[in-house]
């Protein structure tokens, strides 16, 4: 028997038992669609939250106080602006951005709210690009001249300037008036990797915010957090090592530990990628269990087909069909059923994935491995669960088969 003859026989069997065939395929369709949708949704989620973060995170290093040290509360030590300048000189092709935030009352006319004020260096906007609705971001000139200017997020712009006249207007933050020079369009979705700024944030130049803070308790201005972008991914390790060596030589260690946390974000991203992959794999495995259940159903259908077609098998053997021909016929039929259900399931899974993309506003991604896995699993289920009915049919004695009504 040729493969085409086997496929034709399988198609005839499906046409003669439409309802039974549909019910046996239903589990295969749902299982395959689930596997495709889960793998593709996991890929879309990974692309949305991780791959976008890689553009910043792959080269990002964050330095802050190591509060886990035993003597941290008794003798806290902080970086200074001199440390930042020294590190800049030692790492010429590296971006260094100081950030600080305070809570101050923001007032415009009769509208008043306690808000988060973010002080940032000029290169902050290179490290964390944001889309502008109007105006400009803060620059080196603002930093050097201590200009009392600010940038608002669109939420604050609409709240304090409902007429849309924020740009060029003044707003009071704490005890000082600031001119609005820019309005940021805030992203619709929060990124996995963020600098901590949210929808209700006002941005000032770092040195301007620094001069509004009472440093009496600290003795002098301190740097609480320093963000560094290495010149390349390959330079991350050496840059982090240079920073650690400088801080250890300047401030010493505690129990052989650096007094500062030097966090390489790429390491955290790798862990998150691993977790995403593991979770997607587990969910896909659970969805794949329905494929095994559907395989059992298809095996039962094939066993029933063997019983119903016993006399037909006897006739085929009596006129010269070999056991191998009978085995091939039923294996091809089982494989045809599973692949038919698998293909329908793949189409359904692609449709579900597109709906997920539209609802979540994630970029549509259909990884080839999702289709490949679905096809291979469908074929594997067909062969695995079809072998028992096929062997049963091939083993029938033609005399016994012909004598059976």
pLDDT in tens, 342-375: 888 889 989 988 998 888 777 888 888 888 877 8
Residues 109 and 161 in one domain: yes
Residue 171 lies in a domain: yes
Whole-number average pLDDT of the chain: 80
Residues 139 and 210 in one domain: yes
Residue 405 has pLDDT above 90, yes or no: no
Say if pTM beats, i.e. exceeds, 0.75: no
Residue 189 has pLDDT above 60, yes or no: no
Tokens of 230: 């290495």
Q: Can you give the residue range of the structural domain that contains 200?
A: 96-229
C-alpha distances out from residue 323 to 2, 49, 281, Å: 14, 56, 40
Mean pLDDT computed over 217-227: 91
User: Lowest mean pLDDT: which of 105-119, 169-183, 273-287?
Assistant: 273-287
C-alpha to C-alpha distance for 252 and 244, rounded to whole angstroms: 10
Residue 62 lies in a domain: no
Residue 61 lies in a domain: no
Residues 298 and 358 in one domain: yes
Residues 244 and 332 in one domain: no
Residue 299 lies in a domain: yes
Tokens of 338: 């599973």
C-alpha distances out from residue 138 to 112, 129, 176, 190, Å: 24, 12, 17, 22
Q: Tell me what percent of the residues of the chain surpass a pLDDT of 70.
A: 75
Report the pLDDT value the prediction gives residue 34, as an integer from 0 to 100: 83
Residues 77 and 20 in one domain: no
C-alpha to C-alpha distance for 366 and 268, rounded to whole angstroms: 26
Start-end of H helices in 47-80: 52-57
Residues 354 and 385 in one domain: yes
Mean pLDDT computed over 366-387: 78
Scored b (16 or more CB within 10 A) or e, 54-86 reads bebbbbbbbbbbbeebeeeeeeebbbeeebbee
**Residues near 173 by beta carbon (within 8 Å), at least 6 away in sequence:** 104, 105, 106, 107, 115, 117, 150, 202, 204
Total number of domains constituting the chain: 3
44-53, 177-186, 228-237 — which one is most confidently predicted on average? Answer: 177-186
Residues 216 and 102 in one domain: yes
Residues 125 and 182 in one domain: yes
C-alpha to C-alpha distance for 309 and 260, rounded to whole angstroms: 78
Residues 305 and 370 in one domain: yes
> What is the DSSP annotation of 325-352?
HHHHHHHHHHHHHHHHHHHHHHHHHHHH
34 vs 287, more confident: 34
Residues 48 and 114 in one domain: no
Residues 286 and 336 in one domain: yes
Residue 312 lies in a domain: yes
Task: Compute the residue count for the chain.
Answer: 405
φ, ψ of residue 365 to 5 degrees: the values are -135, 130
Residues 220 and 317 in one domain: no
C-alpha to C-alpha distance for 120 and 385, rounded to whole angstroms: 64
Residue 177 lies in a domain: yes
C-alpha to C-alpha distance for 405 and 138, rounded to whole angstroms: 90
Asked whether 186 and 152 are in contact (CB, 8 A), the reply is: no
Residue 59 lies in a domain: no
Tokens of 277: 């992959």
247 vs 361, more confident: 247
**Residues near 358 by beta carbon (within 8 Å), at least 6 away in sequence:** none
Asked whether 242 and 91 are in contact (CB, 8 A), the reply is: yes
Look at phi and psi of residue 256 and say left if phi exceeds 0, alpha if psi is from -120 to 50, else beta.
left
Residue 280 lies in a domain: yes
Tokens of 48: 């949305």
pLDDT, one tens digit per residue, over 301-341 is: 666 666 666 666 666 666 666 766 667 777 777 777 778 88
203-207, 254-258, 348-352, 400-404 — which one is most confidently predicted on average? Answer: 203-207
Tokens of 143: 């930093």
C-alpha to C-alpha distance for 131 and 211, rounded to whole angstroms: 28
Give the Cα-Cα-Cα angle 315, 321, 323 (nearest 5 degrees). 105
Helix (H, G, I), strand (E, B) or coil at 201: strand
Asked whether 39 and 354 are in contact (CB, 8 A), the reply is: no
């Amino acid at each position: 028997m040729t493969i085409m003859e086997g496929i034709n026989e399988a198609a005839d069997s499906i046409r003669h038992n439409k309802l039974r065939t549909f019910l046996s395929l239903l589990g295969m369709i749902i299982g395959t669609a689930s596997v495709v949708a889960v793998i593709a949704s996991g890929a879309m989620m990974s692309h949305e939250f991780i791959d976008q973060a890689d553009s910043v995170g792959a080269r990002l290093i964050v330095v802050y106080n190591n509060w886990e040290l035993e003597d941290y509360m008794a003798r806290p030590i902080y970086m200074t602006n001199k440390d930042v300048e020294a590190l800049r000189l030692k790492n010429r092709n590296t971006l260094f951005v100081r950030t600080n935030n305070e809570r101050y009352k923001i007032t415009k006319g009769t509208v008043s709210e306690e808000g988060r004020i973010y002080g940032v260096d000029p290169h902050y906007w290179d490290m964390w690009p944001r889309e502008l609705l109007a105006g400009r971001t803060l620059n080196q000139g603002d930093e050097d001249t201590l200009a009392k200017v600010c940038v608002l997020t669109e939420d604050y712009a609409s709240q304090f300037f409902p007429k849309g006249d924020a740009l060029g207007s003044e707003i009071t933050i704490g005890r000082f008036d600031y001119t609005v020079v820019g309005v940021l369009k805030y992203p619709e979705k929060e990124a996995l990797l963020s600098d901590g700024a949210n929808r209700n944030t006002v941005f000032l130049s770092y040195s301007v915010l620094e001069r509004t803070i009472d440093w009496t308790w600290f003795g002098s201005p301190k740097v609480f957090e320093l963000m560094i972008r290495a010149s390349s991914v390959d330079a991350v390790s050496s840059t982090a090592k240079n920073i650690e060596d400088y801080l250890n030589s300047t401030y010493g260690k505690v129990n052989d530990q650096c007094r500062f946390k030097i966090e390489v974000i790429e390491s955290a991203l790798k862990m998150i990628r691993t977790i995403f992959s593991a979770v997607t794999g587990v969910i896909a495995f659970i969805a794949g269990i329905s494929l095994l259940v559907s395989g059992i159903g298809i095996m039962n259908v094939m066993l029933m087909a063997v019983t119903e077609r016993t006399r037909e098998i006897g006739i085929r053997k009596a006129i010269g069909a070999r056991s191998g021909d009978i085995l091939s016929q039923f294996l091809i039929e089982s494989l045809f059923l599973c692949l038919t259900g698998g293909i329908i399931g793949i189409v359904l899974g692609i449709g579900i994935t597109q709906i997920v993309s539209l609802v979540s506003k994630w970029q549509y991604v259909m990884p080839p491995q999702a289709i490949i896995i679905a096809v291979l699993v469908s074929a594997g289920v067909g062969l695995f669960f079809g072998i028992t009915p096929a062997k049963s049919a091939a083993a029938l004695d033609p005399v016994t088969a012909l004598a059976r009504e």
